[in-house]
Amino acid sequence: MILASHQPDTLDDSVIYFRILMGGMIFNLVFMAINAGMRGFGKTQLTFISNMISCVVNICFNYLLIQGHCGFPALGIKGAAIATVAGTVAACIYMTVIAWKRDLFVNIPYCIEKKYKITMENTAEIRQMATSTVTDGLATRVSILLIGSVVARIGSFQTAVYSLGVQLLSINQALGVGLQTSGIALIGRSYGAGDTQKMKEYKRTIIMLGTIAAISLGVLIILCGRWFYGLYSDDPEFISLGAKSCIFIGVISLSQTLKFAYTGVLQGVGAVKYPYLG
Same domain (yes/no): 92, 134:
no
**What's the CA gap between 37 and 200, in Å, rounded?**
24
Which structural domain, as residue segments, surrounds residue 28? 1-116
What pLDDT sits at residue 278?
A: 45
> Would you call 63 exposed, middle or buried from its count of C-beta atoms within 10 A (0-12, 13-18, 19+)?
middle
Q: Of the candidates 88, 116, 144, which is a domain's last residue?
A: 116
Same domain (yes/no): 105, 210:
no
What pLDDT sits at residue 89?
A: 92
**What's the CA gap between 62 and 80, in Å, rounded?**
5
Same domain (yes/no): 203, 231:
yes
Q: Of the candidates 71, 92, 116, which is a domain's last residue?
A: 116
Same domain (yes/no): 4, 47:
yes
Same domain (yes/no): 221, 276:
yes
**What's the CA gap between 266 and 136, in Å, rounded?**
14
Same domain (yes/no): 181, 215:
yes
Q: Of the candidates 66, 98, 116, which is a domain's last residue?
A: 116
Same domain (yes/no): 168, 278:
yes
What pLDDT sits at residue 271?
A: 61
Same domain (yes/no): 82, 125:
no
Cβ–Cβ < 8 Å for 156, 7: yes
Same domain (yes/no): 136, 261:
yes
What pLDDT sits at residue 225?
A: 83
Q: How many domains does the chain have?
A: 2
Same domain (yes/no): 169, 35:
no
What pLDDT sits at residue 144?
A: 75
Distance linking the first and last C-alpha atoms of the chain: 30
Residue ranges in the chain modelled with pLDDT below 50: 274-278
Same domain (yes/no): 111, 144:
no
Same domain (yes/no): 214, 278:
yes
- Alpha-carbon Rg for the chain, nearest whole angstrom, is 21
